[in-house]
Amino acid sequence: MAGDANEKELSVFGFAKGMRAGLITFILSLQTIAIIYLFIALSKSESQKQELQAKLYEKMIDFIRPTRDKMDEAVDKVNRVTDQVSETAQFTDSLNRTRKLKSR
């Protein structure tokens, strides 16, 4: 009886006995095509996302570059000043030692 009810239901929609396997095959193939299409669309979306991310990183680097260059210049100046201070301190120390030795 259950089989007859299914056949009656399919016949209402216009599918005879022989068309049932064709209908199932069509639905499965349609589902497979949809899965493949979605997979391809997802991979394209991911590659576009990565390209966009790379462009954003490049823009960020270009935006930060002038500030980094200014900071590098400031660090170089500070390094030169600290080197001069260190040399002056060593020179002053050697002068003090020489003066102490002469005063003895």
> What is the tens place of the pLDDT at every residue in 6-55?
667 667 666 666 677 777 888 999 999 999 999 999 999 999 999 999 99
Amino acid identity, position 103: S
CA of residue 73 relative to chain centroid, distance: 31
The greatest distance separating any two alpha carbons of the chain, rounded to the nearest whole angstrom, comes to: 126
Which tokens go with 104? 């003895």
pLDDT at 28 (0 to 100): 93
DSSP state for residue 95 in the 8-state scheme: H
| pLDDT of residue 3 exceeding 90 | no
